[in-house]
Amino acid sequence: MKSKKYIATSLAVILAAVALPVTAFAEEKEKQEPVKITLNEVAHSIFYAPQYVAIEEGYFKEEGLDLTLVTGFGADKVMAAVLSGDAEIGFMGAEASVYAFQEGANDPVVNFAQLTQRAGNFLVAREKMPDFKWEDLKGKDVLGGRKGGMPEMVFEYILKQQGIDPEKDLEINQSIDFGSTAAAFSGGLGDFSVEFEPSATALEKEGAGYVVASLGVDSGYVPYTSYCAKSSYMKENPEVMQKFTNALQKGMDYVQNHTPEEIAEVIAPQFSETDLETITAIVKRYYEQDTWKENLIFEQESFELLQDVLEDAGELNKRVKYESLVTTEYAKKAEKK
């Protein structure tokens, strides 16, 4: 009997010894397995340089994330992707989350990181206008943006600040799809066009247009673009949310501590159709107008300013509580790292 007990005990010890490394290996493999996550961005623009720095420098990989980047071409399309679950995280103007909330979304899309603090578009004219004044737009045709979208609302906000009535004093063409206005302007449509980069610089290089004003400078600080996710996803995946925000903050830190030339070299692979000289010029333009925040914290003051812009544009039925659509939990932790 003793020998049987000894054999049984020995066998149990051997099995346990074999099982331990197998279990440890499985746990280690689980730790190393990157989490797949899809980010849907509103546009692919040098305006979002810190995000591309984070991708190209491998910061998302460092955080254990396997990131897939998709361009939605419009905040409405990005929001649809987030709500449907096609994308875990959306990157667009925070106004989209306000609209979804107003429509009674059961699972609110909450903003958790603010990337840009100024508008990223520019007013392009057909001629050089070194002494341009906003009143020069009176009686002119301007290619604008989608009604209710941040680019168009900021444009109209500036006009009103300058004493210009967007509905009476000029003609704003909102019929052209996002991303197609530069081609339309180059083809002869409109007297002015509101353009993002690299389209603004491309028009200048073609001799088809000239930047005469920066909406980012003339509007002042505005919470232009932010990252968001469904409330339910945040609750179920707090670690993923924190890792994603950590990676972004590293991108922000890089941009704050490097020259436009260095930033341009890093993000160049993201813009293979644009030469390095042009990328550098665009980065400088954004860098000099203080486009990017030092951290990702979406402050309440910024959210209230956003709602002021929405009210001014007639797009807000009722003001929304800051806490309902913004969390600073992940951004504050990322800043301290």
Architecture per CATH, domain 122-219, reads as 3-Layer(aba) Sandwich (3.40)
The percent of residues above 90 in pLDDT, for the chain, comes to: 77
Contacts 24+ apart (CB under 8 A), 84-88: 86/38, 86/40, 87/38, 87/39, 87/40, 88/37, 88/38, 88/39, 88/229, 88/233, 88/237, 88/240
Mean of all residue pLDDT scores within the chain: 90
- Phi, psi (deg, nearest 5) at residue 277: -60, -45
What is the per-residue pLDDT across 207-262, written as a single tens digit (0 to 9) for each? 999 999 999 999 888 889 999 999 999 999 999 999 999 999 999 999 999 999 99
Amino acid present at 270? Q
What is the per-residue pLDDT across 130-139, written as a single tens digit (0 to 9) for each? 999 999 999 9
CA pair distance 52, 266, nearest whole angstrom? 8
| Domains 35-118+222-336 and 122-219 agree in fold | yes
**Contact between 279 and 46 (Cβ < 8 Å):** yes
What confidence score (pLDDT) does residue 31 get?
59
CA pair distance 137, 159, nearest whole angstrom? 9
What is the per-residue pLDDT across 35-77, written as a single tens digit (0 to 9) for each? 999 999 998 999 999 999 999 999 999 999 999 999 998 889 9
**Contact between 118 and 289 (Cβ < 8 Å):** yes
**Contact between 331 and 113 (Cβ < 8 Å):** yes
Q: Comparing 19-28, 105-114, 310-319, which segment has the lowest mean pLDDT? A: 19-28
CA-based nearest residue to 36, from 81, 69, 66, 62: 66
What is the per-residue pLDDT across 308-328, written as a single tens digit (0 to 9) for each? 999 988 999 899 999 999 999
Question: Where are the chain's structural domains?
Answer: 35-118+222-336, 122-219
Q: N- to C-terminal Cα distance for the chain?
A: 61
pTM of the model: 0.83
What is the per-residue pLDDT across 146-177, written as a single tens digit (0 to 9) for each? 888 888 999 999 999 999 999 999 999 999 98
CA pair distance 79, 228, nearest whole angstrom? 9
What is the three-state SS of 132-200? CCHHHHCCCEEECCCCCCHHHHHHHHHHHHCCCCCCCCCEEECCCCCCCHHHHHHCCCCCEEEECCCHH
Residue range 285-305: mean pLDDT, rounded: 94
What confidence score (pLDDT) does residue 18 get?
46
Q: Which fold has domain 35-118+222-336?
A: D-Maltodextrin-Binding Protein; domain 2 (3.40.190)
Residue range 7-31: mean pLDDT, rounded: 48
What confidence score (pLDDT) does residue 25 get?
44
Q: Which two tokens stand for residue 295?
A: 């951290």
CA pair distance 80, 94, nearest whole angstrom? 14
Look at the block and give the residue holding tokens 């099982």.
19
Look at the block and give the residue holding tokens 């992940």.
330
Beta strand ranges found along the chain (DSSP E)? 35-41, 65-71, 89-92, 109-116, 122-125, 141-143, 171-173, 192-195, 210-214, 225-230
What confidence score (pLDDT) does residue 145 get?
87
What confidence score (pLDDT) does residue 26 get?
44
